Amino acid sequence: MKNQMKIALSTSNPFNLDFTLCCGQAFRWEKRGEWWYGVVSDKVLKIQQKGRGLEFENASADFIKNYFGLNEDLTKILSQIGKDEIIRKAVKEFKGLRILRQDPWECLISYICATYKNIKAVKQMLTALCRKFGDKLELDTVTVFTLFHRQKNWQRQQ
């Protein structure tokens, strides 16, 4: 076990890791067994949810709380957005889904790639771009590549 950390989740703020990571807002996460692997801020993370807790590697508790919005007042947010009937139904159906605090550059590139594509196709496009322009990272037996958010990475390939 490599520097594995845990966070206890609040019972008043529902959280569902699977909903959050496979809903189409972030495309660089892959589930292997019980663990999710993803690249965030130039590092590969490993995370899983066990009941009301998160276990993770290669990040601080503060980083995980911020990235997943775990300190947000979910009750207040839901009371505001739940005024819309469609949103209220979606929130009920996907209880615990959170909006990720992604790097703006990665979010922009992901959504440019997402035009008229399904989630699988976007993941494939981003993987190809990251292999070409990113840096290789490894954790356990998982190899991933960083996103090409540094301009120098674009320039070195020309």
Model-level pTM? 0.79
Report the C-alpha gap between 147 and 89 in whole angstroms.
34
Is the pLDDT at 1 greater than 60? The verdict is no
- Contact between 4 and 56 under an 8 Å Cβ cutoff? The reply is yes
Which residue ranges make up each domain of the chain?
5-156
Report which of 106, 109, 85, 95 is spatially closest to residue 40, judged by C-alpha positions: 106
State the Cα–Cα distance between residues 52 and 90, nearest whole angstrom: 22
pLDDT reported for residue 9 = 86
pLDDT band at 156 (very low <50, low <70, confident <90, very high): very low
pLDDT higher than 90, residue 75: no
21-65 pLDDT, tens digit each: 999 899 889 999 999 999 888 889 999 999 999 999 999 999 999
pLDDT at residue 144 tops 80: no
Residue environment code for 82-103, b if the CB has 16+ CB neighbours within 10 A, otherwise e: eeeeeeeeebeeeebbbebebb
Where does the pLDDT of residue 158 fall: very low under 50, low under 70, confident under 90, or very high at 90 and above?
very low
pLDDT at site 149: 54
CA 32, 35, 38, 42 dihedral sign is: negative
**Which tens digits make up the pLDDT trace of 84-121?**
899 889 888 998 899 999 988 888 888 888 888 888 99
Q: Which of 28, 13, 35 is closest to 125 using CA atoms?
A: 28
Both structure tokens of 2: 């490599």
pLDDT score for 55: 95
The answer to whether 7 and 66 have CB atoms below 8 angstroms apart is no
Rounded alpha-carbon distances, angstroms, from residue 71 to 14, 74, 79, 139, 141: 12, 8, 16, 27, 32
CATH of 5-156, one of 3.30.499.10, 3.30.310.260, 3.40.50.1970, 3.90.330.10: 3.30.310.260
- Residue 12 has what pLDDT? 76
Q: Which pLDDT value is given to residue 116?
A: 80
